Amino acid sequence: MIEVSDIHKSYGQVEVIRGISFNVNPGEVVCIIGPSGSGKSTILRCLNGLETYQQGDIHIDGRRVDPEDRSIKDIRLRVSMVFQRFNLFPHRTALENVMEGPIYVMGIDPHEARERATNYLEKVGLADKLDSYPANLSGGQQQRVAIARALAMQPEAILFDEPTSALDPELVGDVLEVMRQLADEGMTMVVVTHEMGFAREVADRVLFLEGGVIVEQGPAKDVLSNPQEARTQSFLRRVLRPLV
Amino acid sequence: MSEVLSRAGDYMPVLLEGVWITIAVTVLSLLLSTVLGLFWAILGWTKIRAFQIISRTFITLIRGIPIIVQLFYIYFVMPDIGINLTAFQAGVIGMGIAYSAYQAENFRAGIEAIDRGQIEAAQSIGMSDSMIMWRVILPQAFRIALPPYGNTMIMMLKDSSLVSTITVTELTRQGQLVAASTFDNMTVFTLVALMYLVMALPLTYLARQLEKRYKKS
Ligand SMILES: Nc1ncnc2c1ncn2[C@@H]1O[C@H](COP(=O)(O)OP(=O)(O)OP(=O)(O)O)[C@@H](O)[C@H]1O
Ligand SMILES: [Mg+2]
């Protein structure tokens, strides 16, 4: 479904993505892990055209992702994104945030859109917060609204960029639970995360990024429990140490 | 004292005519400056380099030239290139253009205050640039721009007196005319000052309310 081949990207003189290739099949959950600055967000943002890339190709359902082209809208309808900082529209209620895309981008009848938005907000456990403004929601609730907003576009895949990193520890669980449920229902997901437990349990595959390249990739259990590369081993030692 | 009051009463009808013109000039040029200012701000926001340059150049130009000179230019120079305007039209257009530069700066600040993440979220659900502008940025930018907008209204009310220099018979000019024919400067200009004050007070109150309301959130 998502095919990434030999992507390179530079900011000015600095090459931050240095030849990345991977595929994501329908229904697969792929987690991207790696140290800060390794290019995780950048590659994810390339997937739905929030960043340009200078070399290589990204195809979604066979169509090339080109942020400058009109086709990007169609690609974004297939691939939604959930951000670290939620990025809800603060002047709109939870319900309005979720209805925005269906009404104004997909052109769906407002009544139908309201029904659809309500359903997705119920699905993420926020049936009682439809009319709340983001400022009056906890971080975990805001992130779940953001997930509902992505779901309401009925995408084929959802990209998550560290969806729980901005949350208080006690709120992380609710969000991960929703994501786990989506994965169980067969949603295609690419998740940048520091939650190794989530990656181990939910991901089909894990990519370990460092310095703009994929150092190691494979089934989640292999990469996380039995990494082959020294750099993966030392990264996992660093992030897992606080837990043991 | 009663003599002063009765003289004041004599001047009132003429001065009130001026008040209406002052209000008309203020309201119309406020509208024009708002629309134009928004236009410059949006032009500057687009990713198109040429638009950005046009917007920035215009704003710099307008802010660097005294309003009176701009009014003279529109009223006295434009006829030379075949554009004939009445004094009133020239006044409204001149004030509107002059203040559009300040309005643009105000709107620009509002637009730039919107967090980049929201724009990306809007893009990620497939919104076009113009839709992002209308649905995401402007509703919030307006809120941010409102308190300074209240102050701009007061400034424009007072600065509308500048159009007296191109013979628009608004309040200040009527005052000058009455004073010139009666030599009663004291009474006339005290009245004129009071009338401006009475018009400005509700605006001042409004500006303060706006500031209070939107500073909190
Ligand atoms: N807009 C930008 N301009 C210049 N450099 C950038 C920009 N965005 C990212 N970078 C650089 O690109 C590199 C990769 O950034 P990226 O955000 O993809 O890292 P990351 O793996 O997501 O890190 P983190 O875990 O901290 O989120 C970093 O070195 C970063 O400094
Ligand atoms: Mg990141």
Nearest-angstrom CA–CA distance, A201 and A193? 13
pLDDT confidence of residue B210: 81
pLDDT confidence of residue B89: 96
CB–CB contact B140 A77 (8 Å)? no
- Report the candidate in B49, B125, B116, B48 with the shortest Cα–Cα distance to residue A72: B125
As beta bridge partners, residue A60 has A2, A63
Q: Which ligand is nearest to the CA of A13?
A: 1
| B166 band by pLDDT with thresholds 50, 70 and 90 | very high
Nearest-angstrom CA–CA distance, A205 and A221? 8
Q: How far is A89 from chain B, CA to nearest CA, in Å?
A: 6
pLDDT confidence of residue B216: 54
Q: Whose CA is nearest to atom 16 of ligand 1?
A: A39
Q: How far is B117 from chain A, CA to nearest CA, in Å?
A: 5
User: Which residues lie below 8 Å from residue B141, measured CB to CB, with a gap of 6+?
Assistant: B107, B110, B111, B113, B114
CB–CB contact B125 A80 (8 Å)? yes
Instruction: Closest CB to B124: pick one of A76, A88, A90.
Output: A76
Q: Average per-residue pLDDT in chain B?
A: 92
pLDDT by residue (tens digit) across B91-141? 999 999 999 999 999 999 999 999 999 999 999 999 999 999 999 999 999
pLDDT confidence of residue A243: 54
| B24 band by pLDDT with thresholds 50, 70 and 90 | very high
Strand ranges in A67-212 using DSSP code E only, listed in sequence order: 79-82, 157-161, 188-192, 205-210
3-state secondary structure B167-197: CCCCHHHHHHHHHHHHCCHHHHHHHHHHHHH
pLDDT confidence of residue B87: 95
DSSP output for A25-93: -TT-EEEEE--TTSSHHHHHHHHTTSS--SEEEEEETTEE--TTSTTHHHHHHHEEEE-TT----TTS-
Which own/partner pairs from B182-186 qualify as long-range (CB within 8 Å, at least 24 positions apart)? B182/B7, B182/B11, B184/B7, B184/B11
Chain Cα centroid distance, residue A180: 13
Q: Which residues of B touch A81 (CB under 8 A)?
A: 120-121, 124
pLDDT by residue (tens digit) across B30-73? 999 999 999 999 999 888 899 999 999 999 999 999 999 999 99
| B4 band by pLDDT with thresholds 50, 70 and 90 | confident
pLDDT by residue (tens digit) across A185-236? 999 999 999 999 999 999 999 999 999 999 999 999 899 988 889 899 999 9
- Report the candidate in B146, B152, B163, B159 with the shortest Cα–Cα distance to residue B196: B159
pLDDT confidence of residue A242: 60
Question: What average pLDDT does this structure show over B163-169?
Answer: 94
DSSP output for B51-69: HHHHHHHHHHHHHHS-HHH
pTM above 0.90, yes or no: no
Q: How far is B105 from chain A, CA to nearest CA, in Å?
A: 22
Q: Which two tokens stand for residue B128?
A: 């076009």
Query: From the CA of A159, how far away is ligand 1's center (Å)?
Result: 17
pLDDT confidence of residue A21: 95
Q: Above 70 in pLDDT, residue B217?
A: no
Distances (CA, A) of A92 to A87, A95, A111, A117, A161: 12, 8, 17, 13, 23
Pocket test for ligand 1, best of A10, A18, A20, A36 (most atoms within 8 A of CB): A36
**Per-block average pLDDT, block size 10, for chain A (244 residues)?**
94 93 95 94 94 93 88 92 95 96 94 95 94 94 95 95 92 92 95 93 94 93 90 88 58
Residues touching ligand 1 (Cβ under 6 Å) are A 11, 16, 34, 36-42
Instruction: Give the A-side interface with B, CB within 8 Å.
Output: 48-50, 73-74, 76-77, 80-81, 83, 85, 87-91, 100-101, 104-106, 135, 146, 149-150, 153
Q: Whose CA is nearest to atom 28 of ligand 1?
A: A37
pLDDT confidence of residue B211: 79
For residue B122, the chain A residue with the least C-alpha distance is A101
